[in-house]
Amino acid sequence: MSRVLSPADVQAFERDGYLLVQDYFPADDMGRLLRVARADHELSAGATDRHDTEGRVSRLSLRYNLDGEDAYRAYARHEDVVAPLEQLLGGELYHYHHKMMMKEPHTGGAWEWHQDYGYWYGAFLSANMGSCMIAVDRATKANGCLQVLRGSHRVGRLDHGQRGDQTGTDPERIKVLQERLELVHCEMSPGTVLFFHSNTLHRSDPNTSPDSRWALICCYTAVDNTPFIDTAAGDFTRFQRWDHDTVCAAVQTHAERLNPSL
Ligand SMILES: O=C(O)CCC(=O)C(=O)O
């Protein structure tokens, strides 16, 4: 049986646009996932760099399909990721993409204020989309944890423009929204998750600390909200959900494939 959120959690998500659940997955599982990710040359070879407005670099490795049994796809199929988000968004979801965000010590760049739907609007008609961010290692203010504006999903989609290599929200609106809405730093221990709506404004600071900040973000769309343009990347079909034991077994197999001593 997958996890079921309480009515209070659902209400909090509807009000705030996000739900932070501390220690959702065991820290040991995250330790293994991190060792796999760090040893995985395919993951780093497939990573792309995004520059912030000051030229610092954030790396991310993104996949649009679930064809494969690696550790990251396993978490993107995890029933405790997908089912609660379905509960929060009100119906069945398709996988859109998942990505490992790799913010390295001292160098990892900032992410500008944006809504994910500000990025995704070009291909999707509705904002009935959301994500689950899984803290793979510890996220703190010092290493650039995610920040959200509480309740910002209720303003609807804002205009976005180019900021560095990134797409950012209109700064004038952000200024006003920052005066009106609470800024929340989502400090997360390994295994903590953040479910958030695609219109929730979020950003993060550069990593000025000696500690890395890696997080896996899995993104989904409502089944009646598949892209309206043919060129959109993704595989919008029903997918199998895996229970926790199956996910852990996939991570273990991936670890053994990379290095039996992991
Ligand atoms: O990893 C981060 O700090 C920000 C990621 C983000 O904003 C995104 O993927 O939309």
Q: Residues 238-256: pLDDT tens digits?
A: 999 999 999 999 999 999 9
Q: Is residue 62 part of a domain?
A: yes
The verdict on residue 1 lying in a domain is no
Q: Check residue 52 and give its pLDDT.
A: 83
Predicted local confidence at residue 142, as pLDDT:
97
Asked whether residue 134 is assigned to any structural domain, the reply reads yes
Distance 260 CA to ligand 1 centre (A): 32
CA distance 68 to 245: 17
Q: Using one digit for the tens of pLDDT, what is the confidence trace for 215-226?
A: 999 999 999 999
Residue from 63, 101, 200 whose mutation best tests the ligand 1 pocket (most atoms within 8 A of CB): 101
Q: Is residue 43 part of a domain?
A: yes
- Our count of domains for the chain comes to 1
Range of the domain at 65: 17-258
Residue 8 lies in a domain: no
Structure tokens at 212: 């890395």
60-99 confidence digits (pLDDT tens): 999 999 999 999 999 999 999 999 999 999 999 999 999 9
User: Which two three-digit tokens encode residue 127?
Assistant: 């904002």
Return the structure tokens found at 86: 């379905």
Sheet holding 129-135, edge to edge: 18-21, 193-197, 129-135, 213-222, 93-103, 57-63, 48-51
Report the nearest-CA residue for atom 1 of ligand 1. 101
CA pair distance 115, 157, nearest whole angstrom = 7
**Is the minimum distance from the CB of 146 to ligand 1 under 6 angstroms?**
yes
Judge if the beta carbon of residue 85 lies within 6 A of ligand 1: no
Model confidence, pTM: 0.97
Task: Determine, yes or no, domain membership for 7.
Answer: no
**CA 152 to CA 45: how far, in whole Å?**
35
88 and 200 in contact (C-beta within 8 Å)?
no
What are φ and ψ of residue 15, in 5° steps? -75, -45
